[in-house]
Amino acid sequence: MQNDGCRTPDIGKRGGTMILAKTGNEAMAYAMKQINPDVVAAYPITPSTEIVQIFSNYVNDGLVDTEFVAVESEHSAMSACIGSAASGCRSMTVTASQGLALMHEMLFIAGGLRLPIVVPIASRSLSSPLNIHADHSDSLASRDSGWMQFFCETVEEGYDSLIQAVKMAERTSLPAIVAIDGFILSHCLERIDVFEDKKIQDWLGPYKPNWNLLNLDKPILVGPATLQDYFFEFKRTQIEGMNKALPIVQKVMKEFKQEFGRGYDVLEEYKCEDAEAVILLMGSACGTGRAAVDRMREQGKKVGMVKLRVYRPLPHELLKQSLSKFKHIGVLDRADAVNSYGGPLFTEVTSLLYNVADRPKVLSYVYGLGGKEFAPEHAEKVLEQVLLGKKDELVTYVGVR
């Protein structure tokens, strides 16, 4: 057994059985060890390289039963996962940025075949210019591929979410991406409270596929050609899979909380009870948002933060209920949609609020591209503007010189 860190007296306070100091990458690899998938096919890419590297050590040391496939590209990694998942195996890969972009074609195939492949990613910008640091342009560019997407604020949340995602994916027959922000989470050491391997494996149970390509007793055809007469009907079934996913995702979150003593919601409000202005965020910047809200609350300003954890399935009703309570909202995107008026999250939030009678004023912000610093001061400046409910530019590019 490798040295997993030291035991400390507050074990169990957050539901776990061992406190470890782990970076985001180490924590994701550790969760993968505990999930013990049947197949991992992967190709390394910064900043998620370590996840695969550490996991391959687990394979080498015989700590997992996984068949590890070293492939020649991310396109092949996703293809191998599709093949193994179609053959009834619990399958995972790991990637980021250009790697996810190279998988793009195969992401749609996994989505269309309804294969519950789970992929942790360390979110990173897309070239060009080349940059290896955090933003959400990789996962958000894969938005329409039929994958669930979860964004995590902390390392521990990443660890928990990856375990949950396996169950969510298998229950919904939808593949899932679990995103931790590159470097900000992937390379920063945090204290996490982990659970026992056996407890996680018991909770997940064995993978029971809907169908199995290798089942000779029940031969089936996988990946048929469907033309004008059937393609749309099959797509409609896939869309319905995502439409019905949210309650299943919520149920798994609840079950996780019951079993392990800590948990999350799809959408979380922070100091929003009497708030007049809130910011909506995803990922590690939520921690920054909390700090800014705390500072401004000390000054008596009625501000809050809404954290969105689940981007697909989009909890549009919950978002509408939550956001329509406020007068002013600032939506912060860590990616741009290059449409001259806001990022992907902003455009979805504004459109889902459009039919609300007394709809709030929504301001558009893009922040932190390529790992650009987003400090509490930046978030405070945004919140000041959101309180006023107006700004000069349509889109504000936070911190850009």
Partner 1 sequence: MNLKKKGWQELPCGAIIEDPGAVLNNKTGAWRSMRPIWHEDKCIHCLLCWIYCPEASIIVEDGKMKGIDYDFCKGCGICANVCPKKVHAIDMEKERK
* Residue 240 touches partner 1, criterion: CB under 8 A: yes
Out of 173, 250, 324, 347, the only residue in the binding site for partner 1 (CB under 8 A) is 173
- Among 177, 47, 62, 58, smallest CA distance to 117 is for 177
Residue with Cβ nearer partner 1 (229 or 274): 229
Structural tokens at position 365: 């912000």
Give the nearer residue to partner 1 in terms of CB position, either 6 or 221.
221
β-pairing verdict for 328-333 and 176-181: unpaired
Query: Which residue from 12, 17, 211, 373 is in contact with partner 1, where contact means CB under 8 A?
Result: 211
The CB-of-313 to partner 1 minimum distance in angstroms stands at 16
Q: For 219, which DSSP code?
A: -
Q: Which of 22, 114, 136, 167 binds partner 1 (CB under 8 A)?
A: 114
Binding segment for partner 1 (CB under 8 A), chosen from 19-27, 55-63, 226-234, 372-380, is: 226-234
Binding partner 1 (rule: CB under 8 A), the pick from 144, 234, 356, 373 is 234
Q: Which residue has the tokens 């709030």?
A: 360
Closest CB to partner 1 among 176 and 362?
A: 176
User: Interface with partner 1 by CB under 8 A: which range of 72-80, 98-106, 222-230, 392-400?
Assistant: 222-230
Other beta carbons less than 10 A from residue 137's beta carbon: 23
Report the alpha-carbon distance of residue 218 to residue 216 in Å, rounded. Answer: 5
Under a CB-based contact definition with an 8 Å cutoff, are residues 164 and 252 in contact?
A: yes
Binding-site member from 105, 223, 254, 394 for partner 1 (CB under 8 A):
223
Q: Which residues of 339-362 are buried (b: 16+ CB within 10 A; e: fewer)?
A: eeebbbbbbbbbebbeeeeeebeb
Nearest to 293 by CA among 309, 273, 323: 273
Among 219, 354, 358, 400, binds partner 1 (CB under 8 A): 219
* 210 binding partner 1? (CB under 8 A): yes
How far is the C-alpha of 177 from the C-alpha of 282, rounded, in Å? 14
3-state secondary structure of 33: helix
**Residues engaged in binding partner 1 (CB under 8 A):** 112-115, 173, 210-211, 219-224, 226, 229-230, 232-234, 236-237, 240-241
